[in-house]
């Protein structure tokens, strides 16, 4: 009996020592974090700031999944920093996160464009394949490494509309001298065809279009565009999705802050972002279907694709802009080659899967 008692005490003491050694790790794992997240979009903006898959939804999911250990306070554009200054705010550590689109940062690094949308690029399924299984996110973080930041997808609009035009577009010549709100790489392409390109925050688009400061504007899609009232200022609504076939929302994070998070909280952020990526795109499909029907039926909007000759010219200029850009920067070339190599494989698969299916069901 004495032997058993001593054995029990010895094992108990050893267990106590293990528990003591493990205690600091447990305490560290239970640390709480209070972060700030800015946005390029104003409070109340559907998809971006409110609703399924939005910045607010992302913050809520992280707080719930972490049991309150990571709380993220969300600020709309202009509340803490101006709409297009989120990159610098995260880089400096003023805030830990920013929710926007990476093509706003092409002035910092051109390669950022590829992580939002590339003209004549991949759709939602394709770009997610590249991100999650084709090395896209790793390249994203390689591009941002010199700036001390990491990033991941956290939303997607799916195929966007070409935009609103006050006058009908019949030829490439109709674009010359046109004043148009259009961001990103598409803006460079339009500029090469004679368009006077403007970059305006969402809230400034309608008054500019209504007053004639601009003649055309691209924003997102039927639901978002109707909400801004763009159909009241222009009636020609063109589509092809050439410029943004799957527009990605970016969760941008200060790397030093990221590295301070325990691994389980990092995993929670990653999974919340992935969930919002899928959920937001699903929301867009329903919202845009309803809004498009309303715009055409009740607001007499003329919706149609751009003429083939215009599309051909846009594709040609896109090829030139991309060729010039990758020639200037080896990292942009690396991202470009990865993106389009994946796209080539995906296109071959899509042709005998998704595209064949659509042809079949439509008769």
pLDDT at site 7: 46
pLDDT at site 5: 43
Structural domain boundaries enclosing 222:
163-245+294-331
Kindly report the average pLDDT of the chain as a whole number: 91
pLDDT at site 203: 82
d(CA 306, CA 190): 14
pLDDT beneath 50, residues of the chain: 1-27
For the chain, how many structural domains are there in total?
2
Check whether residue 189 and residue 318 sit in a common domain: yes
Nearest to 111, CA basis, from 250, 287, 271: 250
Q: What is the CATH number of the domain that holds 168?
A: 3.40.190.10
pLDDT at site 79: 97
Check whether residue 189 and residue 87 sit in a common domain: no
Check whether residue 71 and residue 188 sit in a common domain: no
pLDDT at site 2: 44
Query: What would the pLDDT profile of 137-190 be if each residue is shown by its tens digit?
Result: 999 999 999 999 999 999 999 999 999 999 999 999 999 999 999 987 899 999
Check whether residue 127 and residue 272 sit in a common domain: yes
Indicate whether 168 belongs to any domain: yes
CA 68 to chain CA centroid, Å, is: 26
Check whether residue 80 and residue 130 sit in a common domain: yes
Structure tokens at 341: 């190599």
DSSP 238-287: EE---S-SSPEEEEEEEHHHHHHS-HHHHHHHHHHHHHHHHHHHHHHHHH
Check whether residue 281 and residue 308 sit in a common domain: no
Indicate whether 234 belongs to any domain: yes
pLDDT at site 363: 66
Check whether residue 146 and residue 170 sit in a common domain: no
pLDDT at site 132: 98
Indicate whether 359 belongs to any domain: no
Check whether residue 48 and residue 137 sit in a common domain: yes
pLDDT at site 362: 75
């Amino acid at each position: 009996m004495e032997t058993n008692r001593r054995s029990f005490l010895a094992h108990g003491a050893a267990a106590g020592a293990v528990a003591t050694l493990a205690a600091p790790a447990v305490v560290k794992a239970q640390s709480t974090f209070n972060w700030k997240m800015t946005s390029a979009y104003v409070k109340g903006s559907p998809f971006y700031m409110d609703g399924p898959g939005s910045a607010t939804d992302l913050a809520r999911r992280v707080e719930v999944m972490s049991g309150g250990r990571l709380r993220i306070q969300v600020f709309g554009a202009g509340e803490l920093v101006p709409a297009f200054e989120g990159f610098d705010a995260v880089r400096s550590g003023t805030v830990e996160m920013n929710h926007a689109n990476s093509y706003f940062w092409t002035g910092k690094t051109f390669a950022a464009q590829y992580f939002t949308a590339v003209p004549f690029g991949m759709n939602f399924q394709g770009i997610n394949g590249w991100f999650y299984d084709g090395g896209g996110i790793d390249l994203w973080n390689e591009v941002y490494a010199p700036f001390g930041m990491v990033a991941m997808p956290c939303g997607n609009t799916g195929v966007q509309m070409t935009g609103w035009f006050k006058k009908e577009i019949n030829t490439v010549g109709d674009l010359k001298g046109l004043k148009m709100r259009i961001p990103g790489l598409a803006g460079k392409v339009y500029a090469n065809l004679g368009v006077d390109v403007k970059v305006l925050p969402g809230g400034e688009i309608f008054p500019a279009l209504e007053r004639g400061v601009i003649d055309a504007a691209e924003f997102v899609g039927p639901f978002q565009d109707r909400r801004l009232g763009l159909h009241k200022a222009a009636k020609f609504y063109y589509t092809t999705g050439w410029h943004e076939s799957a527009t990605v929302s970016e969760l941008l994070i200060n790397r030093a802050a990221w590295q301070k998070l325990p691994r389980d909280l990092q995993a929670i952020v990653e999974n919340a972002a992935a969930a919002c990526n899928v959920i937001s795109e699903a929301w867009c499909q329903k919202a845009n279907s309803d809004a498009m029907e309303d715009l055409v039926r009740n607001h007499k909007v003329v919706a149609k694709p751009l003429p083939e000759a215009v599309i051909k010219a846009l594709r040609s200029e896109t090829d030139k802009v991309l060729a010039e850009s990758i020639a200037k920067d080896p990292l942009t070339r690396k991202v470009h080659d990865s993106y389009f190599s994946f796209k080539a494989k995906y296109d071959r698969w899509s042709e005998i899967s998704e595209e064949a299916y659509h042809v079949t069901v439509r008769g």
